[in-house]
Structure 1
Amino acid sequence: MPIHGLSSTLPPSKPSHFNIERVIRPNILALHPYRCARDDYTEGILLDANENALGPSISKSTLDEEDQETNPQNLHRYPDPSHDSIKDRIRSLRSVSGVDHIFLGVGSDEVIDLLMRVCVTPGGQEKILITPPTYGMYAVCAQVNDVGIVKVALDLTGEQGEGGSNGRFSLRVDEVKKAIDSDPGIKLVFLCSPGNPTGTLISLTSIRALLDYESFKGIVVVDEAYVDFSGESNSAVPLVREYANLCVMQTLSKSFGLAAIRLGIAIAQPPLIQVLTNTKAPYNISTPAAHLALSALSPSALDSMHAKVRRLITSRGELLRSLATLENLGVGPAIGSNNANFLMVPILSKTEPSKPDNVRAQNVYKTLAEHRGIVVRFRGNEPGCEGCLRITVGTEQENEAVIRELRDLLQKI
């Protein structure tokens, strides 16, 4: 069954064992997408979308001072449903073949949810595969959509990593293949790279191994929310040219510092992008969000983003070294390979100094937040993360504060 809106002249997809029409749910393939007013015309006297012709109820004079640069004059009009100008700047930034390879969502969470809705039939017979410890929204979306979950834990062994970190949490490719062989209902494999909460990269060799695995007829989804903190050479985006069974997710929330506008990105070959486009809400990206995203992708803003990423990477190294000085107070070596804008360290027991201590870590976490004004994240309930606190790399002053308060607190707890 053809995909509505997709050109029939596309070349055959690779790898040869993959057929997207066997992955997408039949009711989605048969879907005629909602056609919104702006799909037809964008200029003229617009009397087609039941908009308020008198304009918005706010103006420059009623905006808060910090919002003065926002132009409210067009807010009574529905936004552009496609946002090709944003996609074109993403295409240029990430060296993507064309805007037809890019989908924009309300954060990566919309992309995750849409992928499940279009690929995995509810009821529990069809499933996704995740590799814990990993981003929690994969499991949440699976439960919301009533689809099954197969878990293949990351390898928790490994040698000492860079900067004194515990270099564990690698992908067990053979175990993922075994899970696929034993459960043909697996439709999506979610890989978080760099991982959250581990900061660990999954090698492109491992990703290729799954993409080329003939027994898997589904889609490999690589979540690259933190990839700019690890180096562009670690991105799976170049593999999209070769593999129709790959979807790479990115976001403006992290390296771009635009978490509040909720703009996520999916990069894949046109058939999957067209299915996502057919299924999304008509105007999912708001005009203010689009305006800010376009500005963030301008050449000068990209220079600023790259400069801030370099600064945060430097601060990450300094924070890692500072945390190592707290070893005698019960802070263990950082866990993972530290390729994101955060670090994760175990808080060790006072009575058994080599053993991570969830109770002590919880105590430190709550005391920091409730009495010291510093909020980190307790991750001790994740597989392989017992006793762990995840600490986002802050400003130089914030990093100094967290070390100072940790040093003082661990002497008392």
Structure 2
Amino acid sequence: MPIHGLSSSLTSSSPPHFDIEKVVRPNILALHPYRCARDDYKEGILLDANENALGPSITTSKSEESASTPSNDDKAINDLNALNLHRYPDPTHDPVKERIASIRGLSGVDHIFLGVGSDEVIDLLMRVCVTPAKEKILITPPTYGMYTVCAQVNDLGVVKVPLQLSDEKGEGGTEGRFSLQVDEIKKAIDTDPSIKLIFICSPGNPTGTYIPLSSVKALLDYEPFKGIVIVDEAYIDFVLLSTSESESDKPSTVSLVKDYANLCVVQTFSKSFGLAAIRVGVAIAQPPLIQVLTNTKAPYNISTPTAHLAFSALSPSSLTSMRKNIQTLVSNRSSLLQALARLAPLGVGSAIGGNDANFVVIPILSKGDGRKPDNTRSQKVYKALAEENKVVVRYRGGEPGCEGCLRITVGTEEENRVVVESLEAVLKVL
């Protein structure tokens, strides 16, 4: 059954064991997507979508005396009104996609889907590919919690193959702590053919560890697996742009998209771009999967103001600013790790994971001889930091391989100084 809206010139044949029409649910393949007003015409006297022809009713209240002096509110409203807020958004936002394609080295907009944050992309992939109450996804804990949440909402089974939880190097793709256990994932696939999607977080959350392309390729090339490998790269720019001179030796999985129709890379504007509030996620894949996602999404999932901000964030000057901010955060991360290491006598263990993102993960150790990661002490420290010092970090001791751990986002120099001083003070009394 062909995918509606997909040009015959955009079909895929690599790898040979993958057929997207056997992965996508039949009811989704048969779906005729909702055709919205702006799909046909975008200019002229637009009387086709029952919009309010008089425009938005956003106003400011100010006294007559100050009426002649424009306020900041007036300027903001004028800027918004220039976006034609009384009209429905562009359903495709190709200008935003064109800029993403340019910076990610993609051949065109047909490789890109925009979602309301990465969470919409994750949820949509599950809905189009995995049959409720019958089929499953595979995750590699410790990992991003929304994979499990979305699976539960969609009534999907979840198979868990933990990351390598020790520091020992092993076979089959394991390269130390929090690396991918490729052989174990293959065993799970062989045991359970109902697995349709594999979710990999790289760099991981909460691990901060980059997963090498060799491990991802091993799953993409594994003939018994007929589903899709999804690589969540929310933090990838902290890897790609951690050095200003040469290309990163830890490339994005986007480089594999041209060769693998069974790969989907998920990125976001929330982290490196500093735009968590606008909620824009990106799926990057070959056109057949992108077309399926486009057919299934809500007609106007990305608002005009949101698209305007995303477009601006992708301008040359904004990208320069983004890269500068990443350099600053990477430097601050190094300084934070050094400062935390000086708290070792008080029970701060060495940071775990790859430290490839904009956070660090540290274990809080028990007191006395034979110190080891201590969940009870760690929880007390977490609460004391938040409730007594107004410093909020994240407790992660319940995650596999993260016993006693706190996750600390890299802040400004001042924020990092305060968190270290507060942590030192708390540890002296707990």
Please give the range of the TM-score, normalised by the shorter of the 2 chains: over 0.9
Contact 2:138 2:160 survives alignment (8 Å): yes
CA distance in 1, matches of 2:309, 2:353: 33
CA distance in 2, matches of 1:132, 1:64: 47
Q: How many residues align?
A: 407
Contact 2:10 2:288 survives alignment (8 Å): no
Shift in Å, 1:354: 2.5
Contact 1:255 1:305 survives alignment (8 Å): yes
CA distance in 2, matches of 1:279, 1:352: 58
Cα deviations across residues 135-194 of structure 1 (Å, max 9, x unaligned)?
A: 00000000000000000000012269xxxxx96111000000000000000000000000
Shift in Å, 1:64: 3.9
1:381 correspondence with 2:398: yes
Which runs of no fewer than 5 residues in structure 1 stay unpaired?
A: 161-165
Contact 1:346 1:389 survives alignment (8 Å): yes
Cα deviations across residues 223-275 of structure 1 (Å, max 9, x unaligned)?
A: 00000011254210010000000000000000000000000000000000000
CA distance in 2, matches of 1:247, 1:356: 36
Which runs of no fewer than 5 residues in structure 2 stay unpaired?
A: 61-69, 170-174, 241-247
| AA in 2 matched with 1:268 | A
- TM-score, normalised relative to structure 1: 0.96
Aligned residue number for residue 66 of structure 2: none
- TM-score, normalised relative to structure 2: 0.92
Structure 1 runs of 4+ with >3 Å offset: 59-70
Aligned residue number for residue 75 of structure 1: 85
Q: Kindly report which structure 2 residues correspond to 1:146-185, keeping only aligned pairs within 5 A, or say none.
A: 146-158=155-167, 168-185=177-194
Contact 1:348 1:387 survives alignment (8 Å): yes
Q: Kindly report which structure 2 residues correspond to 1:117-156, keeping only aligned pairs within 5 A, or say none.
A: 117-123=127-133, 125-156=134-165
The alignment's C-alpha RMSD in Å is: 1.7
Aligned residue number for residue 302 of structure 1: 319
Cα deviations across residues 92-140 of structure 1 (Å, max 9, x unaligned)?
A: 00001110000000000000000000000001x2000000000000000
Shift in Å, 1:12: 4.0
Aligned residue number for residue 86 of structure 1: 96
Residues 242 and 339 of structure 1: is their aligned pair in 2 closer, same or farther, counting only changes over 3 Å?
same
Shift in Å, 1:2: 0.2
Aligned residue number for residue 200 of structure 1: 209
Q: Kindly report which structure 2 residues correspond to 1:260-279, keeping only aligned pairs within 5 A, or say none.
A: 260-279=277-296
Residues 208 and 69 of structure 1: is their aligned pair in 2 closer, same or farther, counting only changes over 3 Å?
farther
Contact 2:351 2:360 survives alignment (8 Å): yes
Aligned residue number for residue 45 of structure 1: 45
Contact 1:3 1:274 survives alignment (8 Å): yes
1:218 correspondence with 2:235: no
Contact 1:167 1:336 survives alignment (8 Å): no
CA distance in 1, matches of 2:31, 2:203: 35
Q: Matched residues, percent identical? A: 70
